[in-house]
Amino acid sequence: MIAKKARGKMERRLSAALTHACEQAKPQLPGFCWLTHEVDYQRFPESLVVTWVFDTHVNLAQALKGEARHSINDLTAEALADAGVDVSDASRHLDVDSEEDCQREHGGDWQRRLRSKPTRH
């Protein structure tokens, strides 16, 4: 758990570090569009999940088969470390998705889609 006063500071650090990871990933990962994170600060850092979003399900599947999977994990681990988030295995805090799947399953409503995903931690 993180103290209430420290939440804003942590959120800013996380956002900055993940934005940097996103910008690094765009030229490296075909079809990668953006990323976001969700966290329940009552269960921090266990509840932290970083979702990487690709344009299509095909590009997402390709990324998970190849070297891109390692890049996603490495970039996430670096971002979390840069933000001062201590996790033993960054891959446990990763999720991947696609714009195409969100459109088909949730009408493009990302807030609803992210809320509907099961909590892993």
pLDDT digits (tens, 9 = 90+) for 41-83: 999 999 999 999 999 999 999 999 878 999 999 999 999 999 9
Per-residue pLDDT, averaged over 24-46, amounts to: 95
**Domain annotation for the chain: domains and CATH numbers:** 4-116 (3.30.300)
Using a pLDDT cut of 70, give the percent of the chain over it. 97
Q: Residue 121: pLDDT above 50? A: no
Q: Which residues contact 95 (CB under 8 A, 6 or more apart)?
A: 49, 50, 51, 52, 117
What pLDDT band is residue 1 in, cutting at 50, 70 and 90? low
Q: Residue 117 in contact with residue 101, Cβ under 8 Å? A: no
Average pLDDT over residues 91-120: 91
Question: Residues of 62-80 as b/e, b for ≥16 C-beta within 10 angstroms?
Answer: ebeeeebeebbbebbbebb
pTM for this entry: 0.92
Q: Exposed/middle/buried for 119, CB within 10 Å: 0-12, 13-18, 19+? A: exposed
